Amino acid sequence: MTEHSAEESAVDEVAVRLGRIEAALGDAAAARERTIDRLHEENQRLRVGERQLLLRPVVTDLHRLRDDLLRQAGGLPEAVTREQTAALLASYVVSVEQTLERCGVRVLRAEPGEAYDPYRHRAVGTVPAGGPEGDGLVSEVLGDGYLDAVADRVVAPAAVRVARWTEPTVMDDETPGETP
């Protein structure tokens, strides 16, 4: 064998080995992609199952609430007073609040007269305050807010109107206390 042919033979052997390595790498890459796809599918199935487990108590409560509403609607007398209707609806509010509490959410109630807090309240309007001491206080509650009890963080602030005091202006030609 000549020196040149020995070199060609060595190069051919290296080329064959590189071809085998490329094939093995290709197989490994394909196996890795199949593994990633399988793990992704398993992850998706686990997420769906986890979501169903998390929502099961809420779904159960909603089923119960729906059945109660249907039963009550079917048994209502011909003449239902406003007070009876309000009491019936209030009982369902309690059921919904209990469902929210099981999900870690508490109702955040605002009270007229408390200080406006932009983290707990959403001002949807202002009303004139009776005096400077009323400035910045909640005047009217339009809707409750919600608090994530686990994170102790407001999820939705309560909707309120806020009292604002503005100093009365006196005209230059009028003296305070005089009536025109």
Q: State how far the Cα of 160 lies from the Cα of 140, in Å rounded to an integer.
A: 6
Q: Are residues 81 and 112 in the same domain?
A: no
- Under 8 Å between Cβ of 102 and 145: no
Does the residue 39 lie in any domain? yes
* CA 51 to chain CA mean position, Å: 15
Give per-residue pLDDT as tens, 114-140.
Answer: 999 999 999 999 999 999 999 999 999
Question: Can you give the CATH number for the domain in which 128 is found?
Answer: 2.30.22.10
> Which of the listed residues 60, 80, 103 is the one where a domain comes to its end?
103
> Which of the listed residues 69, 88, 103 is the one where a domain comes to its end?
103
**Which is more confidently placed, 158 or 177?**
158
Does the residue 177 lie in any domain? no
The yes-or-no verdict on residue 5 having pLDDT over 90 is no
> Which of the listed residues 44, 69, 103 is the one where a domain comes to its end?
103
Give per-residue pLDDT as tens, 17-46.
Answer: 999 999 999 989 999 999 999 999 888 888
Provide the edge-to-edge strand list for the sheet that holds 105-108.
105-108, 145-148, 153-156
User: Which DSSP state fits 115?
Assistant: B
Give per-residue pLDDT as tens, 44-95.
Answer: 888 877 877 877 888 888 888 888 888 888 888 888 888 988 888 888 888 8
Which structural domain range is residue 41 located in? 1-103
Q: Which residues contact 97 (CB under 8 A, 6 or more apart)?
A: 107
Using 50, 70 and 90 to split pLDDT, how confident is the model at 174?
low
Q: Are residues 3 and 86 in the same domain?
A: yes
Q: Is 17 exposed, middle or buried (0-12, 13-18, 19+ CB in 10 A)?
A: exposed
